[in-house]
Amino acid sequence: MNALSVSGLTLTCGDTTLVDDLSFELPAGATLGIVGESGSGKSLTLRSVMGILPEAVTRHGEIRCEARTAMVFQEPATALNPTMRVGDLVARTWRRHHPDTSAREARAAAAELFDQVGIDDAVRRLRAWPHELSGGMRQRVMIAAALATDPDVLLCDEPTTALDVRVQAQILQLLRDLVSERGMAMVFVSHDLAVVASVCSQILVMRHGRLVESGPMDRVLAVPQEQYTRDLLAANLARRLADREGVLR
């Protein structure tokens, strides 16, 4: 059974085609990484699935999604409301999706979610303001808010790009754990192949709004069929080596 099925997705803005006839399927519980250079249409694809496209963008094609979706954005600092305590954000989101619960129950649920996403001292942290938390903690709050809606599919748009490498690794581990514990499906967007490979078993490569290549992660990394995928692999490897040199210097 597919959690999500996208067929002939085409997005235009005036005369410009931003995403061109994109089709893919996400089986329930599967993990799909979408990679491609900046402007290739990754974010707009996720936004199409969430139904939150910018007004100027017109959509054609079909998106079938029986499942509940939730999205985690790249920059938790801007995605979080600075005037709301982080516990209130998660409790409110929980209550919107569980309308028959009391404020007290929602608060308990928020504390439980903080605990699940690895926020220590969860009950006290519910009262924190976003600016009091580190980038990694803020991203954990965003993930808790996404989980408050009990999603079957978690859409992640570069959720670790703004974080330093050590914190990035912790968040990736958290996502891996959540996916396997909850049996959630996940679509994970990144320009970084190595990051995507560490959390997803399927991959879809995009360029200029078009699908270049897709398939099982292991196969595509070992035997890429398209020159563009090979170039992307080489560029990623070169960057990793350069990072490493930076570390050694």
Closest by CA position to 48, among listed 12, 14, 15: 12
Identity of the residue, 17 or 225, whose beta carbon is nearer to ligand ATP in the bound complex: 17
Instruction: Pick the stretch among 51-59, 145-153, 225-233, 238-246 that binds ligand ATP (CB under 6 A).
Output: 51-59
Q: Does 161 bind Mg ion (CB under 5 A)?
A: no
CB of 82 to ligand ATP, least distance (A): 23
Instruction: Pick the stretch among 31-39, 98-106, 114-122, 229-237 that binds ligand ATP (CB under 6 A).
Output: 31-39
Instruction: Pick the stretch among 34-42, 146-154, 218-226, 235-243 that binds ligand ATP (CB under 6 A).
Output: 34-42
* Residue among 1, 52, 54, 248 that touches ligand ATP (CB under 6 A): 54
Length of the chain: 249
* Residue among 3, 6, 9, 18 that touches ligand ATP (CB under 6 A): 18
| C-alpha gyration radius of the chain | 19
* Residue among 13, 103, 123, 241 that touches ligand ATP (CB under 6 A): 13
Identity of the residue, 126 or 142, whose beta carbon is nearer to ligand ATP in the bound complex: 142
Residue 56-75 contact track with ligand ATP, rule CB under 6 A, x = bound: xx------------------
The listed partner (ligand ATP, Mg ion, none) that binds 69, CB under 5 to 8 Å by sort, is none
The listed partner (Mg ion, ligand ATP, none) that binds 54, CB under 5 to 8 Å by sort, is ligand ATP
Torsion sign over Cα 240, 137, 203, 61: negative
* Residue among 22, 30, 42, 232 that touches ligand ATP (CB under 6 A): 42
Which residues in 40-59 contact Mg ion (CB under 5 A)?
Answer: 43
Instruction: Pick the stretch among 42-50, 112-120, 123-131, 220-228 that binds ligand ATP (CB under 6 A).
Output: 42-50
Place of tokens 């914190």: 167
Q: How far apart are CA 45 and CA 41, in angstroms?
A: 6
Instruction: Pick the stretch among 36-44, 84-92, 219-227, 240-248 that binds ligand ATP (CB under 6 A).
Output: 36-44
The listed partner (Mg ion, ligand ATP, none) that binds 236, CB under 5 to 8 Å by sort, is none
